[in-house]
Chains A and B, each alone.
Chain A
Amino acid sequence: MNERIKMDVPAASPLRHDDAAETLRHVRQPLPHDSGRKHVQGTAQYIDDIREPEGTLHVAIGQSPKARGRLISLDVSAGRAVPGVVAVLTADDIPGKNDVSPAFGDDRLFVEDVIDFLGQAVFAVVATNRDVARRAVKLAVMEIEHERPSITVEDALERGETVLPDYAFGRGDANAAIAASPRSLAGQFRVGGQEHFYLEGQVALAIPGEDGDVHVYSSTQHPSEVQHVVARVLDIPDSYVVCETRRMGGGFGGKESQATQWAVTAALAARVTGRPCKLRLDRDDDFILTGKRHDFRCDWSVGFDEDGRIQGYAVELLARCGCSADLSGGVVDRAMFHADNAYWMPAVHVGSKRLKTNTVSNTAFRGFGGPQGMLAAEHVMDQIAWATGRDPLDVRYANFYRPGGNHTPFGMEVEETDTLLGLVQNLERSSDYRARRQEIAAFNASSPIMKRGLALTPVKFGISFTLTHLNQAGALVHVYQDGSVHLNHGGTEMGQGLYIKVAQVVAEEFGIAMERVRITATTTAKVPNTSPTAASSGSDLNGMAARVAAGAIKRRMIAHAAKAYDVPEEQVEFRDDRVFIGNESLSFTELARKCIQARVALSEAGHYATPKITWNRDKATGRPFFYFAYGAACSEVIVDTLTGENRLLRADILHDVGKSLNPAIDIGQIEGGFVQGMGWLTTEELVFNSEGRLLTHAPSTYKIPVASDVPADFRVALYPNANREETIYRSKAVGEPPIMLANSVFCALADAVHSLDPSKAVPLDAPATPEAILRACEALRGRPMG
Chain B
Amino acid sequence: MTRDAIRFWRHGRVVEVTGFHPRTTLLDYLRLNERKLGTKEGCAEGDCGACTVALGRVRGGRVRYEPVNACILLLGQVDGAELVTVEDLAVGDDLHPVQAAMVARHGSQCGFCTPGIVMSLFALYHEGGRPLDRQAANDALAGNLCRCTGYRPIVDAALDACSAEAGDHFTKASDATVQGLTALADGRDLFIGDAARFFAAPASEDSLAALYAQHPDATLVAGCTDVGLWVTKGMAELDRVIWLGRVAGLDIIEDSDDALAIGATATHAQAYSSLARIDADLGELMRRFGSAQVRASGTVGGNIANGSPIGDLAPALIALDSTIELRRGDATRTLPLESFFIAYRRQDRQPGEYLRRVTVPKLKAHEVFRAYKVSKRFDEDISAAMGAFRFTLDGRRVASARIAFGGMAGIPKRATETEQALAGISLDDPSAWGEALAAIGRDYQPLDDHRASAAYRSTVARNLLFKALSETASGRTDATRLVGGREALEAAE
Residues A676 and B150 in contact, CB atoms below 8 Å apart: yes
Q: Which of A152-160, A398-406, A531-539, A664-672 contacts B (4 or more CB under 8 A)?
A: A664-672
- Residue of A46, A252, A695, A708 touching B112 (CB-CB under 8 A): A46
Q: Pick the most buried of B39, B109, B141: most chain A CB atoms within 10 A of its CB.
A: B109
Nearest chain A residue, comparing its CB with the CB of B23: A131
Give the complex CA separation of A687 and B452 in angstroms. 10
Give the complex CA separation of A545 and B70 in angstroms. 43
Residues B479 and A450 in contact, CB atoms below 8 Å apart: yes
Residues B482 and A638 in contact, CB atoms below 8 Å apart: yes
Q: Is residue A428 contacting chain B, with contact meaning CB distance below 8 A? A: no
Q: Is residue A392 contacting chain B, with contact meaning CB distance below 8 A? A: no
- Residue of A41, A282, A643, A786 touching B95 (CB-CB under 8 A): A41
Supposing A672-B148, A676-B147, A786-B459 touch, asked if A38 and B111 sit within 8 A by C-beta, the answer is yes
Residues A41 and B148 in contact, CB atoms below 8 Å apart: no
Give the chain A neighbours of B42 by CB distance below 8 A: 199-201, 283, 699
Residues A786 and B455 in contact, CB atoms below 8 Å apart: yes
Residues B38 and A42 in contact, CB atoms below 8 Å apart: yes
Per-residue CB proximity of A485-503 to B under 8 Å, as 1/0? 0000000001111000000
Give the complex CA separation of A220 and B301 in angstroms. 44
Residues B482 and A450 in contact, CB atoms below 8 Å apart: yes
Give the chain B neighbours of A683 by CB distance below 8 A: 376-377
Supposing A42-B87, A685-B376 touch, asked if A199 and B482 sit within 8 A by C-beta, the answer is no
Please, could you name 17 A-B residue pairs with CB atoms under 8 Å apart, sorted by A?
A40-B98, A42-B37, A42-B39, A49-B37, A198-B110, A199-B112, A249-B40, A645-B374, A647-B378, A647-B482, A665-B106, A696-B450, A698-B43, A699-B48, A699-B145, A706-B380, A786-B459
Q: Pick the most buried of B48, B152, B450: most chain A CB atoms within 10 A of its CB.
A: B152
Nearest chain B residue, comparing its CB with the CB of A688: B450
Residues A36 and B106 in contact, CB atoms below 8 Å apart: yes
Query: A38-B111, A40-B86, A495-B109 are known contacts; what are 20 more A-B pairs with Cβ within 8 Å?
Result: A36-B108, A41-B38, A42-B40, A42-B86, A42-B115, A200-B40, A640-B481, A640-B482, A645-B378, A668-B106, A676-B150, A700-B47, A706-B151, A708-B139, A710-B152, A770-B376, A771-B376, A771-B384, A774-B456, A786-B459
Per-residue CB proximity of B121-149 to A under 8 Å, as 1/0? 00000000000011101110110111111
Q: Is residue B233 contacting chain A, with contact meaning CB distance below 8 A? A: yes
Instruction: Give how many A residues have a beta carbon under 8 Å from the other chain's beta carbons.
Output: 90
Give the complex CA separation of A518 and B439 in angstroms. 70
Nearest chain B residue, comparing its CB with the CB of A35: B111
A359 to chain B, nearest CB (A): 15
Give the complex CA separation of A241 and B5 in angstroms. 47
Q: Pick the most buried of B39, B42, B138: most chain A CB atoms within 10 A of its CB.
A: B42
- CB proximity to A under 8 Å, residues B374-418: 374-382, 384
Supposing A497-B109, A706-B151, A708-B142 touch, asked if A774 and B459 sit within 8 A by C-beta, the answer is yes
Q: Is residue B200 contacting chain A, with contact meaning CB distance below 8 A? A: no
Q: Is residue A621 contacting chain B, with contact meaning CB distance below 8 A? A: no
**Tally of A-B residue pairs with Cβ under 8 A?**
272
Supposing A449-B480, A450-B479 touch, asked if A199 and B378 sit within 8 A by C-beta, the answer is no
Residues B109 and A706 in contact, CB atoms below 8 Å apart: no
A649 to chain B, nearest CB (A): 10
- CB proximity to B under 8 Å, residues A684-741: 685, 687, 695-696, 698-701, 703-710, 712, 714
- Residue of B44, B110, B150 touching A247 (CB-CB under 8 A): B110
Give the complex CA separation of A169 and B111 in angstroms. 42
Residues A671 and B382 in contact, CB atoms below 8 Å apart: no
Give the complex CA separation of A198 and B40 in angstroms. 13
Residues A710 and B45 in contact, CB atoms below 8 Å apart: no
Supposing A200-B112, A664-B106, A701-B450 touch, asked if A135 and B235 sit within 8 A by C-beta, the answer is yes
Residues A785 and B142 in contact, CB atoms below 8 Å apart: no
Nearest chain A residue, comparing its CB with the CB of B141: A707
Residues A44 and B111 in contact, CB atoms below 8 Å apart: yes
Give the chain B neighbours of A449 by CB distance below 8 A: 467, 470, 479-480
- CB proximity to A under 8 Å, residues B74-108: 85-87, 89-90, 95, 98-99, 102-104, 106-108
- Residue of A284, A703, A706 touching B233 (CB-CB under 8 A): A284
Q: Which of B153-161, B253-261, B327-335 contacts A (4 or more CB under 8 A)?
A: B153-161
Supposing A42-B86, A699-B145 touch, asked if A495 and B110 sit within 8 A by C-beta, the answer is yes
Q: Is residue A250 contacting chain B, with contact meaning CB distance below 8 A? A: yes
Nearest chain A residue, comparing its CB with the CB of B100: A40
Give the chain A neighbours of B151 by CB distance below 8 A: 675, 705-707, 710
Per-residue CB proximity of B209-240 to A under 8 Å, as 1/0? 00000000000000000000000110100000
Give the complex CA separation of A581 and B194 in angstroms. 80
Nearest chain B residue, comparing its CB with the CB of A639: B482
Q: Pick the most buried of A32, A41, A197, A685: most chain B CB atoms within 10 A of its CB.
A: A41
Give the chain B neighbours of A647 by CB distance below 8 A: 378, 482-483
Residues B451 and A199 in contact, CB atoms below 8 Å apart: no
Give the complex CA separation of A645 and B482 in angstroms. 8
B209 to chain A, nearest CB (A): 33
Chain B residues in the interface with A (C-beta under 8 A): 31, 36-45, 47-48, 50, 85-87, 89-90, 95, 98-99, 102-104, 106-115, 118, 133-135, 137-139, 141-142, 144-156, 232-233, 235, 372, 374-382, 384, 449-456, 458-460, 463-464, 466-467, 470, 479-483
Residues B40 and A41 in contact, CB atoms below 8 Å apart: no
Give the chain B neighbours of A201 by CB distance below 8 A: 42
Nearest chain A residue, comparing its CB with the CB of B466: A642
Residues A249 and B110 in contact, CB atoms below 8 Å apart: yes
Residues A283 and B45 in contact, CB atoms below 8 Å apart: yes
Nearest chain B residue, comparing its CB with the CB of A497: B109
- CB proximity to B under 8 Å, residues A33-56: 33, 35-46, 48-49
Give the chain A neighbours of B147 by CB distance below 8 A: 196-199, 250, 252, 672, 676, 704
Residues B464 and A643 in contact, CB atoms below 8 Å apart: yes
Residues B118 and A40 in contact, CB atoms below 8 Å apart: yes
Give the chain B neighbours of A710 by CB distance below 8 A: 150-152, 155
Per-residue CB proximity of A271-315 to B under 8 Å, as 1/0? 000000000001110000000000000000000000000000000
Residues B111 and A495 in contact, CB atoms below 8 Å apart: yes
Residues A770 and B141 in contact, CB atoms below 8 Å apart: no
Residues B235 and A134 in contact, CB atoms below 8 Å apart: yes
Residues B111 and A283 in contact, CB atoms below 8 Å apart: no
Give the complex CA separation of A715 and B481 in angstroms. 25
Give the complex CA separation of A647 and B39 in angstroms. 32
A707 to chain B, nearest CB (A): 4
Q: Is residue A5 contacting chain B, with contact meaning CB distance below 8 A? A: yes
Give the complex CA separation of A48 and B40 in angstroms. 9
Q: Is residue A3 contacting chain B, with contact meaning CB distance below 8 A? A: yes
Give the chain B neighbours of A49 by CB distance below 8 A: 37
Give the complex CA separation of A786 and B375 in angstroms. 17
Q: Is residue A646 contacting chain B, with contact meaning CB distance below 8 A? A: yes
A647 to chain B, nearest CB (A): 5
Residues B378 and A672 in contact, CB atoms below 8 Å apart: no
Nearest chain B residue, comparing its CB with the CB of A9: B106
Give the chain A neighbours of B372 by CB distance below 8 A: 643
Residues B113 and A42 in contact, CB atoms below 8 Å apart: no
Residues B460 and A706 in contact, CB atoms below 8 Å apart: no
Supposing A283-B45, A642-B466, A699-B48 touch, asked if A41 and B99 sit within 8 A by C-beta, the answer is yes
Give the complex CA separation of A715 and B139 in angstroms. 22
Give the chain A neighbours of B95 by CB distance below 8 A: 37, 40-41
Give the complex CA separation of A774 and B467 in angstroms. 15
Nearest chain B residue, comparing its CB with the CB of A449: B480
A289 to chain B, nearest CB (A): 15
Give the chain B neighbours of A705 by CB distance below 8 A: 150-151, 377
Nearest chain A residue, comparing its CB with the CB of B137: A707
Q: Is residue A138 contacting chain B, with contact meaning CB distance below 8 A? A: yes
Residues A642 and B463 in contact, CB atoms below 8 Å apart: yes
- Residue of A33, A646, A771 touching B482 (CB-CB under 8 A): A646
B36 to chain A, nearest CB (A): 8
- CB proximity to B under 8 Å, residues A477-524: 494-497
Residues B464 and A37 in contact, CB atoms below 8 Å apart: no
Give the complex CA separation of A250 and B466 in angstroms. 44
Give the complex CA separation of A37 and B36 in angstroms. 17
Nearest chain A residue, comparing its CB with the CB of B139: A708
